Structure formats: structure tokens, C-alpha cells
Amino acid sequence: MQTTTRVAIIGGGVVGCSVLYHLTKLGWPDVMLLERSELTSGSTWHAAGGFHTLNGDTNMAALQGYTIKLYKELEEITGLSCGLHHVGGVTLADNRDRFDMLLAERAKHRFMGLETEIVGPDEIKRIAPVTNIDGILGALYDPLDGHLDPSGTTHAYAKAARMGGATIETHCMVRETNQRADGTWDVVTDKGTIHAEHVVNAGGLWAREVGAMAGIYFPLHPMEHQYLVTDEVPLISELMAEGREHPHVMDPAGESYLRQEGKGLCIGFYEQPCRPWAVDGTSWAFGQDLLPDDFDKIEQSIDFAYKRFPDLERAGVKSVIHGPFTFAPDGNPLVGPVPGVRNYWSACGVMAGFSQGGGVGLMLAQWMIEGETERDTMAMDVARFGDWITPGYTLPKVIENYQKRFSVAYPNEELPAARPYRTTPMYDIFSEMGAVWGQQYGLEVANYFAQGDEPTYETPSFRRSDAFAAVAREVKAVRQAIGINELQNFGKYRVTGPRSRDWLNRIMAGRVPPPGRLSLTPMLSPKGRLIGDFTISCLGAEEFQLTASYGAQAFHWRWFLQQADEGVTLQNISDTRTGFQIAGSRARDVLAASTRSDISDMRFLDVRRLTVGMTDCIVQRVSYTGDLGYEIYCDPIAQRALWSTLWSAGQPHGITPFGMRAMMSLRLDKFFGSWMAEFSPDYTAAETGLDRFISFKKNETFIGRTAAEAERETGPSRRLVAFAVDAEDADVHGYEPIWLDGDVVGFCTSGGYSHHAETSVALGFLPADRASEAPDVEIEILGQMRPARVLTTPLFDPDGARMRG
């Protein structure tokens, strides 16, 4: 066995083999895969082998499309069969909400180039005759859906990797992973020690155990999953005689998926009385094993399936496949460089390995070789969970995700499992004031405050929420007087040291402000993609505070550590510095009444240390509401005292608490973008308008400068614009296609209702040459074409007089 390699991949399932193949394909042949048993041991060998493109995240859907199209390429490269059956598939909708979800997905697919379509009951019966269409409103048909041979596909990946120079060691048990001082790894196996520059954890069912060898906790948990294969079904035999194969059928109401298997049917369930497996760890002795049959937990699912697919009831059960596979808390994979650990990579939690494995392998290989991926991978980035996550949190979230695998995914839905978990000192006070809570990055965040007969629970919907009036009330309070909102849900970082300014000039594209001032800046990848939009506050000659998205803090912290400088001290203070923002026409009056300091000369974008009431604070003259406002930061221990001061001072001015729903409406008035909507690694600064904050005049060579200057010369191919939409009862949420002259020319990034302007607003991309024309367009919302016009002037404070005054 060789004793050195550039990359050691631990785990020989479909994902590990995909990563191995893609590394060789992109130019790293000196790579090695270590498997303690045979390839496919674990979840891969007993998988049902289905594949589909449907996914609520557009980038994940695109990667699933890539995976599916890759299989024919693998067959051509290796001469091995993947056992492909491109039979197509339908996803059924039996109520309005399910149908709305399919309409929203179909709209996304238009600009992605996926050839899905909405079909009615009669067409469903023609396509999938085994289906009882009673009560069915319609379905989404995808011609790419199908199934394959799990073992054959995995071995095709492996052979293609070997042809590219990779080495595979089976029956090679990894016992330790020990990092050297230079960041490389000693991978200790029962066949000897391998020195590797990089380690990839593709451990599948054993990913937790493999991670523990390096002192890393991976938020994953295996769940038991069961599917049945029937004896011969006469209808299937008739189709085969006609040269046809029955397509897949996804039935969310019955929590089931169905496909043809030989002359019978295969049906699997995501049952409500589900069971986690190996709660305290996966045994190394488990391999190509199955779990005992358990019909009790799927009894109700089977009864429902007999009604939806009557042929099932008349067919005997030929075999039962009951085995475990692994979920992350939100059901998406965990992929990428593990924060805080050099040269350690994750390729875990890929529960839909034959839909996603190819895309995961491609993204990870690009990440390792090129330093970044070709598209935004936040939906599967291992950094979307921070070090706050625990096994006690992971388990109930995984159970919840399994149970909701086929449920409607609403844009405003707040899932209840493992909540509340992380709260601020204001949680009980806000709860008593009627706070209706959401969560971000495990933290409880007030969405709105219910008063009177306003709903204390926001009903999930694709259409306007029943909290619409409550949010309108809060928006009105901010615009007409003053609102107060908690500041905990910002990512916050302290940067100090003699080289702090130089470091910020290198890592940030924008201007680094002088003491007492703040600036807004994009943070770019080497290829000029957006990896952050930050506020830099200069608190002293060698002291800065950075603020950005709270949910992206592990993502940003990983990047900061990768760019570390000996003359700079970095601290993540996201949870050790909190406070409030006050915003509205009376905000200055309230702050003035709360401090003995003179704030009359405090300009827009000033930052000062002030004592507010009894509390030492950092006060910034800025607000995401686009209004006159201040951000007031303090120690969490003093937050309640600060609240008491501000709340008391605000009473004569009608101070009103407001939540994130109002915040997201207020920002639309000024066309302010939002992280992971308008601003993400899919876009550049020039495309989104953030290039106005790039300091091209500064002497420093900031990361991404070459790419940003090149785009400055040529101009972006698309631009972010705002629209007023003639909406009915549903607003834009994101990724709705934009139509012009009968063609899809762009897509929306986010939207909602401006309660101030009383109009529906959307933000989205148009081709640069068309954006300058400010054309009238149509935006497809839940299957309806809604007229929209480009807005060139903000809907509130268009000249910035109030915000800056």
C-alpha cells in the first residue's frame, strides 16, 4: 500500500467514489480512497436508487441535474453500466398548497433550463396509470426522473477514478487521523500509516465516528428507512408488453415514492412514526446488513398507498429492504472545508446520493483544487452550522426533517423541533409582549409582535400571511414615529492589532474608514464573487468591528482564519456583543433622552462610544430600515438595562417593537439587498450594485481586485433592478422567472410587500442592456403572469434626506 497521497478520502460509498473521480477529472491524480470493507458498504448498497431534480434550493436542483446527466458520461468512459432507467416522474398535489408549491418549483425551473411541466389529472393517469387520481389537482412532471443500479453506478465512479490515476484500498480500516504541525495529516490504518495533504470525510453512516478521530462533531444522524418490492403486477406486465416502463410517482400526501421494479412495484415511505438508528454511534461491525422488517411503523402509510395505488393491494410483497441512511438537521449534505481545521474536508450527509452525489463530488473537487466553486454552495456548506450545534439538537431536527421529507415547504414556515434553544436576555420580555418567534442559526428571533386579535402563530402559506396586518402596523410605527428591534442576529467580529487596517484593506474591497466612522463594503472571492457584505466600524487606530449576516458567521469566520495575519487578532463576538436598533423620525429624540452625551452633531455613518442610561455602548448612525436610525451595541449582561432605558425614553414618542417581517418590508422601500438573496457567491459586486462601495482608488491589492477591475472594464452581463409588481394575493419570494416579449430573460432574487408604499416589490436580474431600458415585464408568481414595472427611485426617502439628515 502506498504511504503518501495528496488526498485521502475515507469512505467507499457513492459519494466518496464521486469525489475521487472528480478530483482526477479536474487534475489531481495522486488521490486515494480508503474503505474498511467493500465499496458500497453502508447505505449505498441497499439504496432504492432513485434520482430526481426537484429540490427547494435552485443550486441543489442544478447539481442534481448535473448528477443525472453525468451517468451516461460515466458509462461511456468506463464501459460499465449504471443500469439507467430514465422513465420520468410525477409529483402529485392533492390540495391547493401542494399545487402552489409545484407551481413555484416549475417557475424556478424555467430559467434553470429544466424541462418540467405541470400536468392535470387526466394526463397523470395517462403517464402513470397505476395512480388513482381521485382528489388529485395536478402534478409536476420531470422527464429526467429515473432510477439506476446503485452498485453498478458506484463501481463506474471508482473505475473512472482509477483510470484517472486514483488508488482505492478496500478492507483498509482507518483507526486514527492525526494532524501534523504543517497542517498535513497522518491517516493511521490497519495496513499502515498514510501521510496525506488533505483528508476527506465521506464516512456515510460512520461520518460521526470518522470526524471524532479528528476531534470534529458532524451534525448528522442515521434514520431507519423501509421500502417494499412487490410480486408481479398485471398492469406493469401489460406496459412492458407495449414496450413501456412505468414512471416514478412521488405522493407527498402519502409520504411515499413509487417506481417499477422488474414486473412489480417498489414503494418507499417517509412515515411519521419514524425511528432514529444508532443514536449513540454506528457500530464498526455494521456493513452490508439490513434491519429487521418493521411493518408496524409503516402500517398507516401502506393503508394510504393502497388507496392511491390500488394495484399494490392485489400484489404480494416479494421483499422488504429496511436499512439506515444519514441526515443532517435540514436534510441537505454537509460539504466543504471544516471551519477551524486545516485541510479537512466534509462530504457527508448526502442522503440522496444518487441524485446529489455527482454534484457534491464536483463542488468539493473544485473547492479543493481551485479554491472556490462555480456556484453558491451555501445550502450544503458544512459551515451553515456553527459550533453551537450539539447531538441533542441534531437528533430532534433530523427526526423532524425525515417526517417532513414530503411535506409542503412554505417560504414563511418556522419549524418547531428543538426550539427554543438559543435565546437572548430579551426572550422572556419579548414573549410577554407577544413576540412570534422565528429562528436563525439556532437563535430565536422575533418575526413580529402580536397585539389584540393578531395571530400568535403565523400560518404557513405561499400567499400573503395572516400576519400581514401586524407587520403593516409595525412598519407604520417605524415610518411615522419610532421602532425598536433587537441587534443580536448580526454576525459581529472584533479585529485588532498593528496590522489590522492593512489586513482589512486586503480582505475587503471597500474603503477602510478612519476612527469614528464606518463604511459599507463587499468582501470578494479571488474570482470576484460576493462572499460577504460588511459594515466596518473603526473604533480606534487599531480596533475595528465588522458586522454582517448572523447565519453566515461560520462561513465568514472560516474565511477570516484562512486569511489570518500574525499582526492581527480576530475574535468572533457575534454572541458577546448585542443590543438594539432604533429607527424612525423620532429616533434621535429617543437617543438624546437616553444619554448625557451630545449627539446633535452625530452624522450618518458615525460611530461613537456612549453611555446610554447605565450601559456603556457602541452607537452607530446607520439602519437597515433605510430610515433615520442608530445601532446600539452592548454587553449581553447589560442588555436588559439598555432596553429599560430606551423603552422608557421612547414612551412619549410612541416607541413600538418590530420584528424581522417588518424589517424585510422596510428594506424593500430602499431596494436594500439581503445576504443569500441579492448577495451571494453566485453574483458579483457589479451585477448587484455593490461595486459602488469598492474602493478602486486604494493602493492595496484586495482579494478579487483583478476580477472586479476586469468586470468594471467590460461591464456586467446582468444587473439587479427593482420592480413594482401588480400582484394579487401572493408576492415574490425568490427565483420567480421574469418574462419579456414572451421569453424568460431573468429571475427574481427576493421580494415582498412594501407596507409603506402599499405595493408589491421584487428585486431581480435583467440583462444589462435591457435593464437600462427600464422595460415593463411580467413576473410569474404561482403560475400567473403578473405585470411589473422597473423602479428607478426608492419608495421611501428617495434623496436620503431623512436617513442622512
Which SS3 state, helix, strand or coil, does residue 371 take? coil
91 pairs with which residues across the strands? 140, 250
**Would strands 192-201 and 4-10 be described as parallel, antiparallel, or unpaired?**
parallel
Would you place residue 44 in the very low, low, confident or very high pLDDT band (cuts 50, 70, 90)? low
pLDDT in tens, 201-229: 999 999 999 999 999 999 999 999 999 99
The amino acid at residue 371 is G
- Which residue is it, cell 419579456? 740
pLDDT at 353: 85
End-to-end Cα distance, the chain: 71
What mean pLDDT is predicted for residues 510-530?
A: 98
pLDDT at 40: 82
Distance CA 599, CA 749 (A): 38
Would you place residue 774 in the very low, low, confident or very high pLDDT band (cuts 50, 70, 90)? confident
Contact 525, 703 (CB under 8 A): yes
pLDDT in tens, 145-160: 999 988 999 999 999 9
pLDDT at 42: 72
pLDDT at 46: 67
What mean pLDDT is predicted for residues 656-665?
A: 98
- Residue 27 clears pLDDT 70, i.e. is over it: yes
Strand order, beta sheet including 483-486: 607-612, 615-620, 629-634, 578-583, 483-486, 656-657
pLDDT at 700: 86
Domains, in order of start, for the chain: 4-327 (3.30.9.10), 421-488+576-669 (3.30.1360.120), 490-572 (3.30.70.1400), 717-803 (2.40.30.110)
Q: What is the mean pLDDT of the chain?
A: 95
- Which residue is it, cell 443569500? 676
What mean pLDDT is predicted for residues 432-438?
A: 98
Element (H, E) at 429: helix 427-432
Contact 21, 8 (CB under 8 A): no
Distance CA 349, CA 333 (A): 5
Grid cell in block for residue 299: 402500517
pLDDT at 29: 97
DSSP letter at 183 equals S
pLDDT at 45: 62
Nearest to 553 by CA among 489, 504, 497: 489
What mean pLDDT is predicted for residues 339-350?
A: 96
Would you place residue 53 in the very low, low, confident or very high pLDDT band (cuts 50, 70, 90)? confident
DSSP letter at 85 equals B
pLDDT at 198: 98
Distance CA 289, CA 270 (A): 20
pLDDT at 428: 98
